[in-house]
């Protein structure tokens, strides 16, 4: 019984850690001035990044970019109604 409760407690703590560690990014293409919102960025090297845009749901690859880590509220505002 104690092991089961301990397992539930550990699972709950892990879940809180995963949810609490979410990252949100605003990515700007300096050439086209397009703005994208994403939760993960894959650095391909030489300044090239790749990510999934949360508004269009498209995979985007940019050779140059401006990346800003933003709050969840800013992320939600940027992706809402788009």
pLDDT of residue 61: 97
pLDDT at position 22, please? Answer: 83
Query: What's residue 24's pLDDT?
Result: 96
3-state secondary structure of 37: strand
pLDDT in tens, the chain (82 residues): 666 776 666 665 655 555 556 899 999 999 999 999 999 999 999 999 999 999 999 999 999 999 999 999 999 999 985 5
Contact 52, 60 (CB under 8 A): yes
Of 56, 52, 27, nearest to 40 (Cα)?
52
pTM, to two decimals:
0.73
Query: Residues with Cβ < 8 Å from 50, sequence gap 6 or more?
Result: 41, 42, 44, 59, 60, 61, 62
Cβ-based burial of 28 (10 A; exposed 0-12, middle 13-18, buried ≥19) = middle
């Amino acid at each position: 019984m104690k092991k089961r409760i301990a397992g539930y407690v550990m699972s709950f703590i892990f879940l809180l850690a995963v949810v609490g560690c979410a990252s949100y990014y605003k990515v700007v293409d300096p050439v086209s001035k397009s703005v994208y919102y994403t939760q993960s960025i894959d650095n391909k090297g030489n300044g090239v990044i790749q990510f999934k845009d949360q508004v269009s749901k498209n995979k985007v690859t940019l050779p140059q970019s401006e990346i800003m880590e933003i709050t969840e509220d800013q992320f939600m505002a940027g992706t809402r109604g788009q």
